[in-house]
Amino acid sequence: MSSQLPPLARLSPRVVADTLARRTLPRAIVRSSQVTLPARLTATARRRRGRHERLELFIAFDDPCSAIAAIDLSARLAGRAVDIVPMPVIERGIEGDPAVGQKREYAVTDARRLARRAGLTLARETPLRAADTAFLAEWVAAAGPNPALLVFTIAALRRLWFEGDGPIERHAFLDLWREHVGSEPRRDPAAVREAEKRMSRRGPYETPAAWVAGRWYFAHDRPGQICEWLDELGWTPR
């Protein structure tokens, strides 16, 4: 009986839902991610107005892979009209993730290998506590737009992860801040919460992540692809 029905009539709601979830939707997501024309037009318009591209770099100071990403990306993007804006967060990760402790531990191992690729040596063997570096996130998040923030962020991440494994001494970072930014730092936990919300809106759920022109990447995993995306948008090295 059912074989005499037209094909569409044989499709039960369950089959339709299953097909949508397993085939149609994933394919549509992949296809839509390959649409680049709007981003390219926007980039062209920005250049014509003399503006730079903006790359939001979501980092956590207690995350060694954030240190790798900040150092690597700032070097790779030098010479392009792209401003890297550090967005420090503290709370991140998948809500209720039972493996969060394991992931923090593994990040140290992973960062050590990535550092080796870059000719660097990670100085720490164990993760840092987020609470111990929270003041750095609050300083950077509280400051207004300032190119010196990236310089400070990289200097602070280097000190945290590549220049010793001792306790975090705030006065040393205060000296760094004064050297690179100038004014006295201001702590603002609410500004960090704003950065965390912004990261969530952009899509990333973990650090380090780079958001640029509608796409986001894990910044330590995909530096080459970030450069390729910028090339495609016309933000090539000058």
Partner 1 sequence: MTESLDYFYSFRSPYSYLSAPRVFALPERFDIEVKFRGVIPMAMRGQSVPRAKRLHTLRDVAREAKRLGMPFGRIHDPIGEGALRCLAVSQLATAQGRAGEFALAAGRGIWGEAIDVSSENGLREICRRAGLSWPECQAAVADPTSRERVEHDTAALAELGHWGVPVIALRGELFWGQDRIVDLETALSDLGLLRQTPAAVADDS
Q: State in angstroms the smallest separation of the CB of 87 from partner 1.
A: 16
- Alpha carbon distances (Å) from 14 to 9, 17, 22, 209, 217: 13, 5, 12, 37, 35
- Cα distances (angstroms) measured from residue 74 to each of 184, 204, 212: 25, 20, 14
> How many residues are present in the chain?
238
Stretch that binds partner 1, among 42-50, 69-77, 143-151, 197-205 (CB under 8 A): 197-205
For 158, other C-beta atoms within 10 Å of its C-beta total 16
Q: Does 38 bind partner 1 (CB under 8 A)?
A: no
Instruction: Report the residue from 45, 99, 118, 172 that binds partner 1 according to the rule CB under 8 A.
Output: 99
- The residues, ordered by sequence, that sit 6+ positions from 191 with a Cβ below 8 Å of its Cβ are 138, 141, 142
Is residue 83 at the binding interface for partner 1, with CB under 8 A as the rule? Answer: no
Which is it for strands 215-218 and 209-212: parallel, antiparallel or unpaired?
A: antiparallel
Check residue 45 for interaction with partner 1 (CB under 8 A): no
Stretches 63-71, 134-142, 170-178, 202-210: which one binds partner 1 (CB under 8 A)? 202-210
Which DSSP helix (H) or strand (E) runs through 38?
helix 37-48
Instruction: Decide whether 40 or 113 has the Cβ nearer to partner 1.
Output: 113
Does position 204 interact with partner 1 (CB under 8 A)? The reply is: yes
Give Cβ neighbours of residue 9 (< 8 Å, ≥ 6 apart). none
d(CA 112, CA 68): 9
Q: Do residues 81 and 52 make contact, with C-beta atoms less than 8 angstroms apart?
A: yes
Judged by CB under 8 A, the residue of 30, 35, 37, 190 near partner 1 is 30
Establish if 113 lies at the interface with partner 1 (CB under 8 A): yes
Q: Considering the rule CB under 8 A, would residue 125 count as an interface residue with partner 1?
A: no
**Does 27 sit near partner 1 (CB under 8 A)?**
yes
The interface region with partner 1, picked from 4-12, 35-43, 91-99, 122-130 by CB under 8 A, is 91-99
* 162 contributes a contact to partner 1 by CB under 8 A: no
Interface ranges with partner 1 (CB under 8 A): 21-23, 26-27, 29-31, 33-34, 94-99, 102-103, 105-106, 109-110, 113-114, 116-117, 200, 203-205, 215-218, 221-222, 225
